[in-house]
Amino acid sequence: MNTPLPAGSLAGKTALVTGSSRGIGADTVRYFAAAGANVVINYRSKAPRAEKLVTELTEQGSQAIAVGADLTDADSVAAMMHTIRERFGSLDVLVLNASGGMESNMGEDYALRLNRDAQVNVLEQGTALMGDGGRVVFVTSHQAHFIRTVPTMPEYEAVALSKRAGEDALRERIADLASRGIGFTVVSGDMIEGTITATLLERARPGAIETRKEAAGKLYNVSEFAAEVALAAVEPVPADNTRLVGDVSFFTDYAGE
């Protein structure tokens, strides 16, 4: 796969991407590894898939480990961070990619626990391993980023609200992070074809993806969006700490009505 990052640009750095055994997270890990980073693949339950990615990357000469952790369990997150410290000593890049809330049988408050509470906890524990020059990236969607001003589909509303709550909670920590030399960027994208969220949404509302594609003109695929996430970890932090990927005219025009 083509990589957006220069070879060797992350040599000696360590990057953790949550929810990275597949999809956007996995391709982001691949880009970091291609740039020379040590990479930590986090998964909740899909160990074989995560280990397969480790094998793929180590065969290419990268340093990679897979660490299982339930992000909604603080002790599980602490154990993951301990493993990272023991293996690599510190952390330079943290990508908060894992999210959810459309799964069945996870409890009514699961979306908020994962998309807000867990994100804050992972940020706090992860940045404890960081020094000056560290970078944090939070991955979200336009449907969540703009939910305060632009309604979304009812099937996705609870997830969108919880993701925005997580974004807001993380943004409250920007000043503190900056005082420690740690940059923070939100990467917001339109619906991404091929992601589990898009699959679940399509199942709940058939035709949703095609309808949005027609309105936007183009939807990014997994690898294209992952490239933007990877770039956000190395390029200068935007003045508003926000990197908008893909068409936003629908959201900004609606909000301006």
Q: pLDDT (tens digit, 0 to 9) for every residue of the chain, 257 residues total? A: 678 998 899 999 999 999 999 999 999 999 999 999 999 999 998 899 999 999 999 999 999 999 999 999 999 999 999 999 999 999 999 999 998 876 666 667 888 999 999 999 999 999 999 999 999 999 999 999 999 999 988 888 989 999 999 999 999 999 999 999 999 999 999 877 766 566 666 676 687 667 766 666 677 789 999 999 999 999 999 999 999 998 888 888 876 55
For each of the domains in the chain, give its residue range(s) and CATH number, in order of start.
14-255 (3.40.50.720)
Sheet containing strand 183-189, strands side by side? 64-68, 38-43, 14-17, 93-96, 135-141, 183-189, 242-245
pTM: 0.92
Distance CA 31, CA 45 (A): 23
Distance CA 255, CA 50 (A): 40
Question: Strand 135-141 vs strand 14-17: parallel, antiparallel, or unpaired?
Answer: unpaired
What are the tokens at 175?
């000043």
Distance CA 71, CA 81 (A): 11
Residue 218, pLDDT score: 73
Residue 180, pLDDT score: 97
Burial of 70 (0-12, 13-18, 19+ CB in 10 A): middle
Residue 191 DSSP code: -
Residue 213, pLDDT score: 65
Question: Could you tell me which of 162, 161, 178, 76 has the C-alpha nearest to residue 127?
Answer: 178
